[in-house]
């Protein structure tokens, strides 16, 4: 069985490990069809038993409706998997065609019909424009033990909607038929694959197009001539990743209130050198306010929080190596983007932030305050260059994973 796995209770039995580590979904072993993409990849080193990569593609419709945060919150909190890399794509006609060609594999008529729905959906929605927006998709790669099965259960089924909100497709997808059973509206919300060979094939396909079709999508949105179009950088800070939870997705969900567009998305581990440069302007301010020694210590605390190492304790090549702390770098684009993002973020001190702001809802202290956002369009350019938001770390991670024994 390939790419679009149509499972029945007879065809697939849950392993004890997957049953214990994943929430119960009575439809996970009932008859249903899902197009999911899973990437199998462990940490750098020897592959651990049952450790896999899995992938999820957030569809163009979900992107336009700003449902990205809700989907990410479900994926991380319900699976316990590690989000290891991601990339924005504006799929070309060639990528769309080649991806769609792999979808229909079933011979049983009912299952094949569902696969054909998905194939047609991809061909229709992964290219072209809607309301001045070229199709964008967000490709997420997650890693962990039994990742494919966990994503399978969390994404959910396509047909026989229960609309209970238990799975991602229950909440964000639609499969609507008329009285005769003909499908009149179909939106899968997210795509994935549940066969390891299909996952590997799909990942390698998207890697092939990751430079030409992926990265910062500067020219996919049409704006009115009078719009003050800006780009702003947001960092979802390391305090949101201490354990699998809804916080990263929740922060993104609040930012969606701005009406801005996500055009870049990168999972990033800031090096000590990057954190020093990123927060360099803060050092003289702290030294002036607290004195040279206390100000320097406070600044090193910030660098350590973001990168996992103190400048005074890290030397040589270690300074430029990826740090131990994870963040998500997101590029937002739109009219008056910097002001809108800062307004939703709230002031540095969560205690002074207004209700409904990100730092009020998710922040703990002046340093552990959920997210960073650029304070000017000029600083956004500087900060994006430091964290290399257009860097393709998607490609080497996937290639390295499949190159290992």
Q: Is 196 exposed, middle or buried (0-12, 13-18, 19+ CB in 10 A)?
A: middle
- The answer to whether the CB of 377 falls within 8 A of the CB of 251 is no
Q: Which of 7, 152, 268, 372 is catalytic?
A: 372
Specify the 3-state DSSP secondary structure of 32.
Answer: strand
Specify the 3-state DSSP secondary structure of 285.
Answer: helix
Using CA atoms, how far apart are residues 212 and 215, in angstroms rounded to an integer? Answer: 8
Using CA atoms, how far apart are residues 327 and 343, in angstroms rounded to an integer? Answer: 21
Residues facing 139 on adjacent strands: 57, 87
Those residues whose C-beta lies under 8 Å from the C-beta of residue 363, and which sit 6 or more positions away, are: 346, 350, 353, 369, 370
The Cα angle at residue 245 between residues 241 and 249, in degrees rounded to 5: 85
DSSP notation for 222-263: ---TT--EEEEEEEE-GGGGSSS-SHHHHHHHHHGGG--EEE
Specify the 3-state DSSP secondary structure of 68.
Answer: helix
Using CA atoms, how far apart are residues 301 and 311, in angstroms rounded to an integer? Answer: 9
Which backbone phi and psi does 260 adopt, to 5 degrees?
A: -80, 170
Which backbone phi and psi does 203 adopt, to 5 degrees?
A: -60, -45
Using CA atoms, how far apart are residues 292 and 287, in angstroms rounded to an integer? Answer: 5
Tokens 């998709």, residue? 137
- 114-135 in b/e form (b: 16+ CB < 10 A) is bbebbbebbbebbbeeeeebbb
> Token digits for 279?
């927060």
Q: Residue 375 carries which DSSP code? A: S
Specify the 3-state DSSP secondary structure of 76.
Answer: helix
Those residues whose C-beta lies under 8 Å from the C-beta of residue 292, and which sit 6 or more positions away, are: none
372 catalytic, yes or no? yes
> Token digits for 256?
């969606």
So which residues are the catalytic ones? 372
């Amino acid at each position: 069985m390939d790419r679009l796995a149509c499972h029945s209770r007879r065809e697939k039995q849950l392993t004890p490990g997957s049953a214990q580590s994943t929430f119960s979904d009575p439809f996970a072993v009932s008859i249903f069809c899902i197009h999911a993409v899973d990437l199998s990849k462990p940490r750098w080193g020897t592959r651990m038993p049952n450790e896999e990569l899995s992938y999820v593609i957030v569809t163009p419709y979900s992107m336009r409706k700003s449902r990205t945060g809700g989907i990410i919150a479900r994926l991380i909190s319900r699976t316990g998997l590690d989000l290891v890399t991601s990339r924005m794509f504006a799929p070309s006609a060639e990528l769309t065609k080649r991806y769609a060609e792999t979808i229909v594999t079933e011979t049983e008529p009912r299952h094949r019909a569902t696969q054909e729905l998905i194939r047609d959906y991809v061909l229709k929605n992964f290219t072209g424009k809607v309301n001045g927006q070229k199709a964008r998709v967000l490709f997420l790669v997650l890693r962990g033990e039994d990742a494919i099965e966990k994503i399978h259960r969390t994404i959910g089924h396509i047909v026989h909607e229960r609309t209970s909100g238990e799975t991602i497709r229950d909440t964000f997808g639609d499969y609507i038929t008329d009285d005769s059973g003909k499908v009149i509206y179909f939106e899968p919300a997210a795509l994935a694959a549940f066969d390891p060979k299909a996952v590997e094939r799909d990942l390698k396909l998207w890697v092939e197009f990751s430079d030409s079709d992926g990265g910062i999508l500067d020219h996919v949105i049409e704006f009115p001539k009078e719009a003050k179009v800006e780009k702003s950088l947001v960092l979802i800070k390391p305090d949101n990743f201490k354990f699998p939870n809804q916080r990263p997705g929740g922060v993104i969900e609040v930012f969606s209130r701005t009406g801005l567009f996500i055009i870049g998305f990168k999972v990033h581990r800031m090096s000590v050198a990057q954190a020093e440069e990123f927060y360099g302007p803060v050092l003289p301010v702290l030294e002036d306010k607290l004195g040279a020694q206390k100000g320097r210590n406070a600044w090193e605390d910030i660098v350590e929080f973001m990168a996992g190492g103190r400048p005074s304790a890290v030397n040589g090549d270690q300074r430029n190596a990826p740090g131990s702390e994870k963040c998500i770098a997101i590029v937002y684009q739109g009219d008056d983007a910097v002001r809108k993002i800062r307004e939703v973020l709230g002031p540095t001190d969560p205690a002074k932030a207004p209700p409904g702001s990100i730092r009020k809802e998710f922040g703990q202290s002046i340093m552990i305050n959920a997210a960073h956002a650029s304070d000017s369009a000029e600083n956004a350019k500087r900060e994006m260059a430091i964290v290399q938001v257009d860097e393709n770390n998607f490609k080497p991670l996937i290639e390295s994973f499949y190159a290992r024994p």
